[in-house]
Structure 1
Amino acid sequence: MGFATNQSPESVAVFLASARAAHPRSSCMIALVTDDVSGLEDVLERTGAVAFHTTSTWTPSTGKPSKGVNRVFLHSLRLLGKALPDKSLPEIRVGYWHMLEAWHHPQLARWFAYERILRFLPGVRQVVLADVKDVVFQSECFGDHLNGVVVATEDQETFALETWNGRWYRDAFGAKAWEAVKDRMPVCIGVLMGDRAAMRDIVTEFCAEIARSPFGKIEQAVFNRMIAMDAFSRPLDLVPNRDGAVAHLAAGLTDGDVEIVEGQIADARTARVWPVVHMYDRVATAHDAVQARFASELRPEPHVATTEGEAK
């Protein structure tokens, strides 16, 4: 499942086409959460993907007046919900979560969409939640290793202050909190995979934490804070980057760290093809391999290096 508002049709096409190439229709459902399917009808039909609607209205052109009104309204709902007795006006509490999905930045809004949808997929055993614009699937990524747990892959960069993870964490939670985690390796939540029931519970707890203080924090910092505080009720397996099913190609990885094996992106250390590659567009060799493999889905576009902060 991927959340895809304000994404290029080409990026969405790679996400959907690669997911279907790696997972047969008979055993895997592909879900795209989006506010608009215009221009995507063909690839949705060809891949057998399902589009779920999100009420998200945020766009890159959303200006300060709208953001100001959004904050006033959302804070009012949040404070009203906190002031009310637990069982009073339940529609206000539920409405607050819906408004966060509708009005907040997509980085945070997507988790409220995921939580809503995961509650209505009782037949699904395992699930992957993934970024759309820079994720490519290369082989089957489900299996027994996901039974009863959620797997999160460590980021390529640390909590050092010169990294985005370090800045986000300290800005969100202060210097003392950062000191407590600075020697740990954070996880990247661009791709999470796991048992559906466990994922539903973790996403619900994550959304509840975001909803308590929805502004001024990057969601990856919030997730890592919850790991540090042992705040998740379900098992969470933390896997080193590039050692498991997911590779995050960021923070210093170069062409020398990857090789192309039969058109797919592989680990240069072992020639193992990663089932899922996130941020493939950061490494020119990986980007070009994806462009070549899915040329029929794309308009020609050159590789454009992006900064860590822009991508996340």
Structure 2
Amino acid sequence: MRCLGAPAKFGASRDMLQYIWSKLYAQWLRSQLVRRLPKIELKHGTGTNLILGIARNYSISDLRPFVRSARKFHDCRILLVINNDPELGKALEAEGVDCVLEDVSSSLGRPHMNFARVTDYVAVLQALSGQVERVFLADTRDVVFQSDIFEALPDAPMIFFEEGKGFSLESAGWNGNAIRRTFGLPVYDQIKHHEVICSGTVLGRHGVTLMYCWEKLLLGQMVRRRHHMRSGVDQATTNVIARVNLVPSSVVMPYDGAVATLSGHNTNFLSVKDGLLVTAQGGVPAAIHQYDRNPAVRDFVYATYDGPKSGKAGDKSKDSTLRKKLRVAFGLQGP
């Protein structure tokens, strides 16, 4: 009888942890609803287009390829959210980039950092209401520009970008599993034939982008406890939003278009020619994402923009406190 009862007890314990997690995530999300908005003075660039990125835990050498290429080809606003690091802030200001200096508060219920960053997007976009019309949300460590991203793309409500050719949710195990385990088989079966969309590059109008971010956070309430610990939740929510049309009139662009993404089997479709990164068909993408997955492309970018001296740029975040490690171990907080 004891053996027969063990699975039931285990299931009850698991359900209790899930209930606790859901309460903690809801509490964290409520705190973001009333979060103090940053005071932002846009001092660099002109106009109402904005490139927005989260750049916590990176050094200035990690960020130079992003900021220098962005400023080379854009006179728009460029804003990075970083830790409360005045020296890094000064270095970025010298590159013509505005900054928000704000540490991440460590709290129970906060999901994985890749997903939690959406609240930074929300805070900045709310603070800049009325000042910004189009927004390019971009990863900062592995994105480099070759022309004006806003001129290269249509003025659609929202534009998503596929990761690669022949890289469907059904064939891409990591992405497919994130969808299936997060939202269940019915949703997965409905969208599994679609190509994977990358969550690291998204362009949209200000109000639509703000709605998209809130949709991601609200969908997070559906995510089971353990999967909040994983970075795949960020991409899973983006793919669900795009593929079940939660942002009407959104556009999905191919992996080798204005934003070229080096992912999966497609890491080698770009080459260096006459000082540019070009496709086999001779196209010159306006931006390249995940360029560090191709060593030759990465080394060219680092040499061009004084990036890290060797290897990949690195996330310098530390997991050093016993309290945080215990929260992560029990599934009550993302790393």
TM-score interval, smaller chain: 0.7 to 0.9
* Superposition deviation, residue 302 in structure 1: 3.2
Aligned equivalent of 1:241, options 229, 243, 255: 255
Q: 1:131 aligns with which of 116, 139, 144?
A: 139
CA distance in 2, matches of 1:140, 1:171: 38
In structure 1, what is the Cα distance between the partners aligned to 2:234 and 2:213?
12
Higher Rg:
2
What is the match of residue 153 of structure 1?
A: 161
Q: Return the offset for 1:260.
A: 1.2
Q: What SS class does the counterpart of residue 238 from structure 1 fall into?
A: strand
Partner of 1:253: 266
Aligned 8 A contact 1:54 1:113 in 2: no
Compared CA separation, residues 200 and 241, structure 1 to 2 (3 A): same
Separation (CA, whole Å) in 2 of partners of 1:197 and 1:176: 30
CA contact (8 A) 1:161 1:167 kept: no
What residue in structure 2 maps to residue 70 of structure 1? 108
Question: Matched residues in 2 for 1:254 and 1:228: separation?
Answer: 24
Q: Which residue of 2 aligns with 1:221?
A: 236
Decide which of 107, 115, 119 is 2:126's aligned counterpart.
119
Residue 73 of structure 2 aligns with which residue?
22
One-letter amino acid of the counterpart of residue 310, structure 2: E
Residue among 209, 220, 226 paired with 1:199: 209
Residues 43-87 of structure 1 show CA distances to partners (whole Å, capped at 9, x for unaligned) of 3122221111344246xxxxxxxxxx713xxxxxxxxxxxxxxxx
Quick one: higher RCO (CA 8 Å, sep 6+), 1 or 2? Answer: 2
Superposition deviation, residue 272 in structure 1: 1.6
- 5+ residue gaps, structure 2, are 1-51, 314-335
Offset at 1:144? 8.2
Contact residue 160 and residue 242 of structure 2 kept, 8 A:
no
1:108 CA drift (Å): 1.1
- Provide the residue aligned with 1:9 in structure 2: 60
Alignment of 1:1-312 (within 5 A): 1-24=52-75, 28-57=76-105, 70-71=108-109, 103-121=110-128, 122-143=130-151, 145-156=153-164, 157-160=167-170, 162-211=172-221, 213=223, 215=225, 216-217=227-228, 218-232=233-247, 234-243=248-257, 245-255=258-268, 257-268=269-280, 270-295=281-306, 298-302=307-311
Q: CA deviation at 1:143?
A: 3.0
C-alpha distance in 1 between matches for 2:308 and 2:192: 42
Shift of 1:246: 0.5
Change (3 A) 1:303 1:13: closer
Shift of 1:206: 2.4
Partners of 2:251 and 2:304 in 1: CA distance: 32
CA pair 39-273 structure 1, distance change in 2 beyond 3 A: farther
8 Å contact from structure 2 (residues 139, 200) kept in 1: yes
Which digits, 9 at most, give the CA deviation of each residue in 1:240-279, with x for residues without a partner? 1112x10110101243x112133222112x2222111110
Q: TM-score, normalised by structure 1?
A: 0.74
Alpha-carbon shift at residue 148 of structure 1 (Å): 4.5
RMSD: 2.3
TM-score of the two chains, using structure 2 as the length reference: 0.69
Q: Percent identity?
A: 26
Kindly provide the amino acid, as one letter, of the partner of residue 223 in structure 1.
T
Segments of 5+ residues of structure 1 without an aligned counterpart are 59-68, 72-102, 305-312
- Please give the alpha-carbon distance, in whole angstroms, between the structure 2 residues aligned to 1:186 and 1:198: 21
Query: In 1, distance between residues paired with 2:93 and 2:241?
Result: 39
Which residue pairs with 1:66 in the alignment? none
- How far apart are residue 236 of structure 1 and its match? 1.2
